Amino acid sequence: MTYCVGISLEQGLVFVSDSRTNAGVDHIATFRKLHVFGVPGERIIVLQTAGNLATSQSVISLLQQRLNSECINLNSVANLYQATSLVSETMREVMARDSNGVMMQGVDLSCSFIVGGQVSGEAPGLYNIYPQGNFIAATEDTPYFQIGESKYGKPILDRSLDNGASLEHALLTALISFDSTIRSNLSVGMPLDVLVYNANSLHVPSGFRVNEDDVYYQGIRQQWGDALKQLLLELPSTPEQYLL
């Protein structure tokens, strides 16, 4: 399992992905699930992956191999919608190629993607591709997407995020969302890959990796935990009838 969050705001985009994969408790490894495609000054396209690792890696590899080909690729599509369609089509191509015989053995080859970024001439955008290949776009009312183990980190996102939030606030909220998920689910783990994109910059940031010993991350998770404990102590006393 994995956990990825993509956030779309007026100021730009925030992406955070964990890097843990597992095929049982005795087979745990680290793989990057946040991938960046881009041409500085022209476009940036960010992909986050969840689900079957072999499928998602094949999709990413094909997209990379085709960047300099004559066929339509992520460096030549006219907009982010077309980029998302291309990722979806490539996913279906890999699934069709690998499904012969494998699916009969009960292996789930499905995966899902978050696709976000900006192509020159349009506003930044964010899409969620389902395992079936169809996809939806983020809106002002729903400014974020999650894939993978989403339930533990969703409440903090719902309570704290709106389209007008700052990139700094969105990143902080996403990191707390990951802390909540990591504490409750062993299949999600460090390190975290993070990328923040400022709208209309058309800059291709390198992003950064948050490790377990990161001072800032350890500080906010400790402060968040302490604040929750203190807040519970400050809530009104439970009415007597609730205790009967």
At residue 30, the pLDDT reads 84
User: Where do the structural domains in the chain lie, given as residue ranges?
Assistant: 3-234
As a whole number of Å, the CA-based R_g of the chain is 19
Torsion of CA 167, 172, 174, 176, to 10 degrees: -170
Confidence of residue 22 (pLDDT cuts 50, 70, 90): low
Lowest-confidence pick of 93-97, 127-131, 174-178, 185-189: 185-189
Residue range 187-237, pLDDT digits in tens:
898 999 999 999 999 999 999 999 999 999 999 999 999 999 999 999 999
CATH topology of domain 3-234: Glutamine Phosphoribosylpyrophosphate, subunit 1, domain 1 (3.60.20)
Confidence of residue 93 (pLDDT cuts 50, 70, 90): very high
| CA 118 – CA 197 distance, rounded (Å) | 9
Residue 162, number of CB atoms within 10 A of its CB: 12
Q: One-letter amino acid identity for 92?
A: R
At residue 25, the pLDDT reads 53
Helix runs in the chain, H state only: 53-65, 80-98, 154-160, 167-184, 215-234
At residue 244, the pLDDT reads 81
